[in-house]
Amino acid sequence: MCAKYAIGVDYGTESGRALLVDIADGTEIATHVTPYPHGVMDEKLPDGTGLGPDWALQHPDDYLEVLRRSVPAVLREAGVNAGDVIGIGIDFTACTMMPLDERGVPLCLKPEWSGNPHSWVKLWKHHAAQEEANKLNAIAEQRGETFLARYGGKLSSEWMIAKVWQIVNEAPEVYAQTDLFMEAADWVVMQMTGNLVKNSCTAGYKAVWHKEQGYPSNEFFAALDPRLETLTETKLRGGIAALGSKAGELNAELAEAIGLRPGIAVAVGNVDAHAAVPAVGVVTPGKLVMAMGTSICHLLLSEKEVTVEGMCGVVEDGIVAGYYGYEAGQSAVGDIFAWYVDEAVPEYVRQAAQEEGTGVHQWLERQASAYAPGEIGLLALDWWNGNRSVLVDADLSGLIVGLTLQTKPEEIYRALLEATAFGTRRIIEAFHQNGVEVNELYACGGLPQRNRLLMQIYADVTGREIKIADSTQTAALGAAMFATVAAGAEEGGYATIVEAAEKMARVREESFKPIPEHSAVYEQLYENYLKLHDYFGRGGNRVMKTLKTMKRHT
């Protein structure tokens, strides 16, 4: 029997990556990365229109460009016959949303709207809707809305409702013109199939949709703003399908543009981090998967539904059917290290790295590895992009304590790595304290492959062994696995994602194990991290808020 293949496309923050896999055993045959031509627009639109603080936009055509460039590239590299590819699946950052007209065209692509920032795609890390999120949470709490408990008590400014409300408040003309607000994941699937099919994962985690209860009531939306009253029936309308469902078949036009066979199965979209879970072989409770890249998403399955402070949501069947899927996260991790390398390292570090023919991250990692835990005398809060879990507050910011005239760049780098590990430990404890067990840790995403010191620190700080995904494109592998399920057994795919995971997922043999002497020191540092965390994060000291307000209004 000839081999069959599936393609997964992972839409990250900076780029999209296609992966072509052999569905028999998950062997990764070819991969290709397309950086988004417009990247993340956080200062200005393509026409030069300036953006305010905390904005982050994208260009929707960049997503199609990923298909146009990366899909033919993997087919070429693999030398595979397009006729043997049985399906394609995608995963996306989320909530990454955009306003569309009645033909499904993003408003930003229409000349009359392209100068209006609100007509563009709001990327997951667009954080300018925090005021809306604050009001939304206050109103939901006042009304005793039960959905709040499913989101750890607070909805985030990163999600659909806050983002839509910001548009209503700041650009009512864009809101009026919008026929549909759509997750980018669903929009790309619609471009591939011509069908309006929304996926249950983004709807559940990012738009407060529930399998039995649907969206929050019209009364709730009317209490936010009368203009939002019928939002879910109108501008958020559309059928919602479970993960692994077939959204439709690849249409002839796009099939030709990207070199695939028309009519192959297209799976409903998925969230990037969630797609990665079965791709590391996790299909049962107690195993926390950390998708570590620009940010970290923490994903966990459980048989029970409980409230955990600051989690980004618990959604039934939200990751793997049959379980409650929990998500928590840190809004910046790799992004903090990138900030330090791009904006704050002294020139001599850059030069030293260059002279040694190595990267700045690698140089800093090597130097930072020479220190024992505690030796740098620094402690940082990992809030460079706000705090997603457990405080759910995008207005919090970064902090480093202990700086002196002797502080070296590699010490600051190490403090930043450690801060993100403490943030993860805080999340693990929140789960544990609420009876959702975390027995094993799995890591995937770009960071585990790139920074060994970071992974050792995570093992030491959490006191747990960390298993590493075998794939370098875990989310794309997960998307390809869901594509095999969408194609179905009759096409040579799999009946369930559990079956696909058994055949296609793997972790590496090498893992990172905690070193007891390190863990003992980190125990002490973590206690101090918690003091700073609660002092700055729970209202004891409001200086971060004051600075943010002054920045916004000056």
Ligand X SMILES: O=C(CO)[C@@H](O)[C@@H](O)COP(=O)(O)O
Ligand Y SMILES: Nc1ncnc2c1ncn2[C@@H]1O[C@H](COP(=O)(O)OP(=O)(O)O)[C@@H](O)[C@H]1O
Residues at the site binding ligand Y, with contacts judged by CB under 6 A: 12-14, 293-294, 334-335, 337-338, 361-362, 445-447, 450-451
What distances in angstroms separate CA 520 from CA 234, 372, 416, 526, one per listed residue? 55, 12, 19, 10
Structure tokens at 388: 């997603």
Chain positions 262 to 291 lying near ligand X, rule: CB under 6 A, are 271-273, 291
The option from ligand Y, ligand X, none interacting with 94 (CB < 5 to 8 A, set by class) reads ligand X
By a kind-dependent CB cut-off of 5 to 8 A, residue 451 interacts, out of ligand X, ligand Y, none, with ligand Y
- Residue 124 binds which entry of ligand Y, ligand X, none, with Cβ cut-offs from 5 to 8 Å by kind? ligand X
Nearer to ligand X, 274 or 464 (CB): 274
Write down the least CB distance from residue 413 to ligand Y, Å.
9
Does position 300 interact with ligand X (CB under 6 A)? The reply is no
Residue with Cβ nearer ligand X (13 or 119): 13
How many chain residues are in contact with ligand X, going by CB under 6 A? 17
Helices (H), 259-359: 272-279, 334-339, 347-355
Given a contact cutoff of 8 angstroms between Cβ atoms, the answer to whether 35 and 76 are in contact is no
Q: Which is nearer to ligand X, 249 or 272 (CB)?
A: 272
If DSSP codes are grouped into helix, strand and coil, which group holds residue 33?
Answer: strand
Distance from C-alpha of 253 to C-alpha of 256, rounded to nearest angstrom: 5
Angle between helices 516-537 and 452-462 (to 10 degrees): 80
469 binds ligand X (CB under 6 A): no
Placement of tokens 């036009």 in the chain? 253
276 with 289: CB under 8 angstroms?
yes
Over the window 177 to 206, marking each residue x when it contacts ligand X by CB under 6 A and - when it does not, the resulting string is ----------------------------x-
Helix axis angle, 272-279 to 497-504, nearest 10° = 60
Q: Which of residues 308-347 bind ligand X (CB under 6 A)?
A: 327, 329
Candidates 89, 106, 293, 386; binder of ligand X (CB under 6 A) is: 293
Is it true that the peptide bond before 208 is cis, omega within 30 degrees of 0?
A: no
Nearer of residues 215 and 337 to ligand Y, judged by Cβ:
337
Can residue 295 be called a binding residue for ligand X (CB under 6 A)? yes
Select from 380, 464, 467, 453 the least CA-distant residue to 422: 380
Residues 7-26 that bind ligand X (CB under 6 A): 12-13
Tokens 């299909």 belong to: 283
Q: Which is nearer to ligand Y, 295 or 302 (CB)?
A: 295
Alpha carbon distance 36, 59 (integer Å)? 8
The label of the residue with tokens 């659909």 reads: 160
- Rounded to the nearest whole angstrom, what is the least distance from the CB of residue 190 to ligand X in the complex? 19
Using the 8-state DSSP alphabet, how is residue 340 labeled?
A: I
Establish if 424 lies at the interface with ligand X (CB under 6 A): no
Footprint of ligand X (CB under 6 A): 12-13, 93-94, 124, 205, 271-273, 291, 293-295, 297, 327, 329, 445
